[in-house]
Amino acid sequence: MAAEQSFDVYRLPEEHEAIRDAVREVCAAKVAPHAAEADETGEFPKASYDALRAADFHAPHIPAEYGGAGADALATAIVIEEVARACASSSLIPAVNKLGTMPLLLAGSDELKRRYLTPVAAGEGMFSYCLSEPEAGSDAASMTTRAVRDGDHWVLNGVKRWITNAGVSEFYTVFAVTDPDARSRGISAFVVEKSDPGVSFGAPEKKLGIKGSPTREVYLDGVRIPADRMIGAEGTGFGTAMKTLDHTRVTIAAQAVGIGQGALDYAKGYVAERKQFGKAVAEFQGVQFMLADMGMKLEAARQLTYAAAGRSERGDADLTYFGAAAKCFASDAAMEITTDAVQLLGGYGYTRDYPVERMMRDAKITQIYEGTNQVQRIVMARQLLKG
């Protein structure tokens, strides 16, 4: 009996499995059918957004007190995983809503949270995250976007690059230098609205994957905002940005797991149906070994991601390590799994008539954004060497 109880630790609670089933049902009916079109046209999949919004899966992490579903970090990861299994571009709707609003949840005033989390929960606007710049990618502390105090306002000038869902989102968490002499301690965070005078956007980037999620530059040209739109105290923005990424790297890991699962599911079905030399391709041992490795890597990535999600929910001291490890391992696994899925389909896998080539292209970005996997390894090593 004791052994049986110990194994129960590794089962998801029933409510989390119910969330998975509900998201999978919505995605099968109303998200997956738009995935290829979003990739082909490079247009934001509004029908998928509407479906996720109607089911309250567009920003499930927002607390109930602001009108949200109040999903915990694990439930949110499961939502993102299941949406990514159907359409990676669409999974960036709940993922980036969490990324953009996490600074508010971590450091925002009650009034600021109520003002901006409420419309996001209601599906009246999405939230994007503006940290990177043309000359400040992995070295985010070298940003040059400035915010200068002018009475009861701040005036922002600068350019942000690689901003997911830019132009579609109504709200933006923007990091800007308020004290140029203080390096990372001179960076502050602000909420900027799409409608603020001086806000504009560059042309959509021409990307390898996740084409249905627009990535654009955000231009801030004398954007004047009230001082109460600062998130947290002046000079704390960089710390908030790094704490945010500790939490949201878990969502990228979940996205990677979902992409990998979608590719494995499709490849399994294909090799079971495809016949060569008089028998199903799935009967060949070499193919079985490939499937075994894909499944093994995927489940290891999933368990590490869920472990990181638990630490995110609790705010554990080792979240920085686990968030980096989950993101790094899961994205590497997704790249390997999707590449193998293309291989298993042979020539068909290399064509856009089948979804695995899209999944392979989509998987690549998970190794790059929210910190490249080289940066994740630096983060992990530093955490290990602390002990």
For 261, residues 6+ apart whose C-beta sits below 8 A from its C-beta are 81, 85, 298
Q: Which residues are catalytic?
A: 370
Q: What is the DSSP string of 43-72?
A: ---HHHHHHHHHTT-SSTTS-GGGTS----
Q: Which of 140, 172, 170 is nearest to 156 (CA)?
A: 172
Ranges of beta strands (E only) in the chain are 127-130, 146-150, 153-164, 171-177, 187-193, 199-201, 215-226, 230-231, 275-276, 279-280
Positive or negative torsion for Cα 195, 201, 204, 210: negative
Task: Report yes or no: 140 and 132 within 8 Å, Cβ to Cβ.
Answer: yes
Residue 162 DSSP SS3: strand
